[in-house]
Amino acid sequence: MNTARFVGGAIIAVAALALASCSAGGDGPADGGSDESGGTEPTSIVVGTLPIVDTAPLHLGIEQGFFEEENLDVTTEIASGGAALLPAVVSGDYQFGFSEMTSLLIASSKGLPVQIVSEGDSSNGNTTLGEDYMEVLVAPGSDIQDVKDLEGKRVATNGISNINYVLVRDGVDAAGGDSEKVEFIEVAFPDQVNALMTGQVDAIATPEPFHTMAINQGAIPIFQTYSAVPNLTVASWFTSSQYEKSNPDVVAAFQRAIQKSLDYATENPEEARRILLDYTQLSPELVEQIVLPGWPATLNRASLEYVMEATDRYGLIEGDVDLDALLGSTPID
């Protein structure tokens, strides 16, 4: 049986507590044992996820039985924000979680025991403005024509230490501007369209569904946030290092199931749109309009290397990151 629970708010945790909780190791669900009929009982896992377009493959895979085929009984914990997921996985409350790449790189540089296990989602490869799912947009009538013009402007991002912040800065600098002169303002995604249209900010870096909502109100895309590397890996599924070491068979089973799920979402985009109605509050009309991300089954290592270099360039990485160790057995291209 697969179940879903919603949790609100972020889990408050500090690195020291998270690291301390890791010392017990192997506190997650035990491998399935034999049931009375002589079969193998499923292994119960809790997967932390978000109510966003990016995570559709997980929900499709559960519905299609891919996890059940791997003898996994999945409970999804749908958090209100990504801040809850990393400490929850590291502490062992969840066995797997979903995170954008920069946060995982920063966590690894701080010594937190995170382990990437699978691609999550990527840019969709469409280079036409308006056709990727995460872009920088400006209000109608704005004098901002391209990403270089963001110099001296107020730009809303959902965080000042994540992949969106890093890659917008990188885009400004690559275009010949000075990203040090951009005023980045932290604004939650649901509030960004209003902030743009009311003049509180000059531009927003926003994904779906807010991307389409903004365009429907006349906003103009000027830059594809994830365009630095073709098919850039944006997010991944991850576990804790101690859980991976204690439960390698479970991790391998999760990898196989999520790869099937990613393939299925890629091959059946209308099914991906349909499943959004089950775990988000999007209207059917908006679901039909939004731009979908890419869901390759393999992680783009070249793009991760690029993101790591940019994250370090902007002073967010505090120590060494062993990329080979962080990726572990993750399927890569």
Domains in the chain, ordered, with CATH?
Answer: 3-124+231-327 (3.40.190.10), 134-224 (3.40.190.10)
Task: Confirm if 44 and 67 have CB atoms less than 8 A apart.
Answer: no
* DSSP code of residue 12: P
Distance CA 67, CA 74 (A): 7
Distance CA 222, CA 128 (A): 10
Residue 31's pLDDT is what? Answer: 54
In degrees and rounded to multiples of 5, residue 73 shows phi and psi of -105, 105
Structure tokens at 65: 């039985």
Task: Confirm if 284 and 274 have CB atoms less than 8 A apart.
Answer: no
Q: How far is CA 104 from the centre of its chain?
A: 10
List pLDDT tens digits, range 209-238.
999 999 999 999 999 999 999 999 999 999
Between the CA of residue 139 and those of 195, 219, 241, what are the distances in Å?
10, 5, 44
- Size of the chain in residues: 333
List pLDDT tens digits, range 50-96.
999 999 999 999 999 999 999 999 999 988 777 789 999 999 999 99
Which residues, given as ranges, of the chain have pLDDT below 70? 1-39
In degrees and rounded to multiples of 5, residue 79 shows phi and psi of -85, 160
Burial class (CB in 10 A: 0-12, 13-18, 19+), 270: exposed
Identify the sign of the CA torsion 179, 183, 188, 193: negative
